[in-house]
Amino acid sequence: MFTQIYTAQSPEEATRLADLGVDHVGLTPSSIGLPGEIDHATAARCVEALRGRAVSVALSASSEVGEILAMVQEVQPDIVQLCADPGAVTPAAVAQLRPHLGGAKIMQAIAMTGPEAIEAARQYAQVADYLILDSVTTEVPGVGAAGTTHDWTISAQIVQEVEIPVVLAGGLSPDNVAEAIRVVRPAGVDSLTCTNRFLPTGGFEKDLDLVAAFVRASNKSSELTG
């Protein structure tokens, strides 16, 4: 079981997350209105700071293969998370993208909108290294950052049916992650919204106490579920 926390906005914040035991540190190198966006240069500095300490994951909500490749080439993450609108980057496009990623692995987001997510997961599992099962909102482009949970029984079915690691996301917090792990048995758990501290001036930073509690709860539940 690994923990994945979005979104670090500086090398200092990224390394603080790693120091708390976060396994995958998520970055959002973008300029389209996603939560916690940073420019590519800052993301690249975060990746460098994380080397040897945690796995770096850089998110792309783009449906343009050229834009995705440009980001990966500049940022050089360990994993690229593809979370464009459902179907905007097809499994065939993901397969074509892979040889050009310089060794970066692919984490494909699956929109957990209902039972149809199961077939989407089956298809993308053939071309990705990881799946991340996430909720959706019309307020943010792409899949994710909804801050709400979805039907974990569907997520559990996906975990049982695919042969690659599955990350559970969507409204996970220190309070509910243990139950989520018990129900779904994912390879990893992800948190963004529920481990943030919102700032009076707008935006947010990671709440390190909440992150630490999330890591503790995840690790304890993982030990109990085997």
Kindly report, residue by residue over 147-202, the tens digit of the pLDDT: 778 899 999 999 999 999 999 999 999 999 999 999 999 999 999 999 999 998 88
pLDDT, averaged across the chain: 93
Q: Phi and psi (nearest 5°) for 211?
A: -60, -45
Cα–Cα dist 112/135, whole Å:
5
138 pLDDT more than 80: no
Q: Identify residue 64 by its one-letter amino acid code.
A: E
- Do 95 and 127 meet the contact criterion of CB atoms below 8 Å apart? yes
For residue range 94-110, list pLDDT tens digits in order.
Answer: 999 999 999 999 999 99
- Please, are residues 193 and 6 in contact by the beta-carbon 8 Å criterion? no
What percent of the chain lies above the pLDDT cut of 70?
96
Largest pairwise CA distance in the chain: 45
Q: What is the pLDDT of residue 40?
A: 97
Look at residue 202 and give its three-state secondary structure. coil
Q: Which amino acid is at 54?
A: A
Q: What is the pTM of this model?
A: 0.94
Q: Grade residue 85 by pLDDT with cuts at 50, 70 and 90.
A: confident
Instruction: Give the C-alpha separation, 167 to 186, whole Å.
Output: 6
Alpha carbon distance 94, 200 (integer Å)? 40
Task: Note whether 187 and 193 are within 8 A (CB).
Answer: no
Helical (H) or strand (E) element with 95: helix 91-97
Give the integer Cα–Cα distance in Å for 149 and 211. Answer: 18
2-225 under CATH 3.20.20.70, yes or no: yes
Consecutive H or E run containing 10? none
